[in-house]
Chains A and B, each alone.
Chain A
């Protein structure tokens, strides 16, 4: 974004390095970007709440909200308005200051990630060369917010939820980080735009199908991201059937909605990161990054919009997968979750990093190995997707139903 602002200043005839108002322009630019990003985050989170309810309903053979707006699309607006109008309760015995600011810690930790996400070829707020490192650091603020909310509620149930959640998130930072190191190794840079540029548009150019360890790393990252976002199967901290909502039991109104905003917005964040790191981000199949940079004029705009659409589609698909997992899987218990993290994911991610390092040396010596592996893995991936789709269709036929997506909407 800095380059964009510098170009803007130059076009007005000033030299950014010496002009006295440069910093103000930067500040204004940052404020504008922050405004857009926060709005985007909040609105996406709201829309996801509607989408989750519809997806959940259709998976459970029900209809979901469909009265407010077309297809129930404005349901989240109604919910947001309702939450805004609710009574703002602060429990008597609670630690008032911590209780009030805990949600904001979470919001900050969550919203800051958007700064480094590359939405399209040129749309990224700050393309830092330590982009990934920055993301991993900033998401840790969420833990602080959770512990503060649990402790300050002065309720045993909330405390339970907060401590569980803290243990969970902190533990799963490690496999997530290590799994994300693999794309960094493969790309040679921590900048998110750089990692995307190192991939391509076609599936066999993605890091996902690069080698088996990267494939495993994708799943390790995805599972860890689910755990960090408190999503089922790791939603023990807010297990409704056990703890009556865990660390956000005592919250009501807008403060309560912050927690859920963060949770749903996190779905976008984790999916976007997965897409960026492993699935080639905004890359359009058939258009290499260099040719993309050279495009100008109308074609450039079209390509830009196309790359934004590609990124959004991929991310939305993974958001759907996150929702799908929530409504299929049961919840893992705390000790089993820790068990899985430390005994399964951590060793696997370390082993993966070592394997990828070795693999890169091997491919350097024998490039054909790299191509062979990528095409084999892509083929395997395509085959499994087809098998899965067939299995789904067979499920429908086995019980005597028909494929029907549009009725009783």
Chain B
């Protein structure tokens, strides 16, 4: 009689680690789940011999809130605030993914003006999300000052988005079929003013930290990821582009009105270290902020003036049971995908959200062999993981 197949589980993996540690005499440290530098509640089991690690196993699930299950209970519009909480730092993108998926279920087009409003909100959110990512990366490496600077710029964006939709973090701005509010009067000038101011701040930020010698020494040659490895581990977003593989959903599978804008996609070049190392990931994000400013300028110039913010959508959205739709957007953290199956009545039957941070967890173990603990912190920061996105 053959033994039943032993499916490896997380528990087994950890027990194996512990068993080996008893043999070798290494230290087993728990980094997290409450730790100043893991970005959210994530636990890392670190097996280390002194300063140099043998392996680091991430443990996720501390922030699981069953959002996908809740999607089966809410109406389509009612689920929109929940998508905010999937990734609360880049909430507009989560909103957009959901709106696009349900609009594909309904098979509807939304007015161009609404698309432009979405793009403006999303690109502003991309800048603010990258500001947090870049600021925390600097802080984890020890430079405390760039973080308040990044937050200060983010406050300007928060004020802009607060004026637009009423909230500073969980926006709930998009609706199925368009957006909730029109741009307030004078808003275009405010956004223009912010973009002008921000590009100067970016230059200052680069002078302060990006090209700082110690910062480069910490991050260059750290955990370089080759393009093939990134594809094998399903990395997305700036993590993937830093390795030299320039895949951006806005260019490869264009959606919304992105084809009408001209912008570059920053791809890692190994400017100060190896291609695909942590410094490249940092630099990619800084450059993406610059490109977002470019998109914002073009969007403000090219907007249609008809002020139609919503398409005609019935009050109760009922979709025939079993209809499926899939949407893919370029969120701040990469490729965010929504899969929705319509259910009987006004709810979905199944909602599945695929986020970039979840897959980034998988690569940490592979990259952390031979790193030091200080490097592990820098590595996690450079992958820009946010715990709510991992666990949903």
Contact = CB atoms under 8 A, between A and B. Distances in A.
B197 interface: yes
A328 B208 contact: yes
Nearest to B139: A241
Contacts of A56: 144
A396 to B, nearest CB: 10
A60 B214 contact: no
A62 interface: yes
B123 to A, nearest CB: 21
A334 B52 CA distance: 11
Contacts of A239: 142, 374
A333 B375 contact: yes
Interface in B144-200: 144-145, 148-149, 152, 197, 200
A400 B51 contact: no
A243 B145 CA distance: 20
Q: Chain B interface: which size bin?
A: 20 to 34
Contacts of B138: 330
B145 A399 contact: no
A156 interface: yes
Contacts of A330: 138, 141-143, 209, 212, 214-215, 218
A156 B374 CA distance: 15
Contact of A60 (B145, B197, B218): B145
**Which of A59, A333, A334 has most chain B Cβ within 10 Å?**
A333
A329 B143 contact: yes
Contacts of B51: 160, 164, 334-335
Contacts of B373: 160, 242-243
Contacts of B218: 330-333, 336
Given A241-B37, A329-B212, A334 B152 contact: no
A399 B37 CA distance: 31
Given A62-B148, A239-B374, A242-B374, A332 B217 contact: yes
A235 interface: yes
A293 interface: no
A160 B27 CA distance: 11
Contacts of B29: 156-157
A61 B139 CA distance: 16
B35 interface: yes
Interface in B9-58: 27, 29, 35-37, 51
- A contact residues, range: 20 to 34
A240 interface: yes
A328 B145 contact: yes
A398 interface: yes
A10 B345 CA distance: 106
Contacts of A133: none
A266 interface: no
A60 B135 CA distance: 12
B300 interface: no
B150 to A, nearest CB: 11
Interface string A215-245: 0000000000000000011011001111110
A336 B217 contact: yes
B36 A241 contact: yes
A147 to B, nearest CB: 16
B159 to A, nearest CB: 15
B374 A333 contact: yes
Interface string B213-230: 011011000000000000
B36 A240 contact: yes
Given A156-B27, A333-B372, A244 B144 contact: no
A385 B77 CA distance: 61
Nearest to A235: B142
Given A60-B149, A241-B36, A241-B37, A332 B27 contact: no
A62 B147 CA distance: 12
B142 A331 contact: yes
Contacts of B372: 333-335
A241 B200 contact: no
A332 B36 CA distance: 18
A384 interface: no
Nearest to B51: A334
B374 A328 contact: no
Contacts of A400: 197, 200
Interface in A273-306: none
A39 interface: no
Nearest to B144: A327
Given A60-B145, A60-B148, 4 more contacts: A56-B144, A62-B148, A233-B142, A241-B36
Interface of A: 56, 59-62, 156-157, 160, 164, 232-233, 235-236, 239-244, 327-336, 395, 398-400
17 contacts: A60-B144, A60-B148, A61-B148, A156-B29, A233-B214, A241-B139, A241-B140, A328-B145, A329-B212, A329-B214, A330-B214, A332-B214, A333-B375, A335-B51, A398-B203, A399-B197, A399-B200
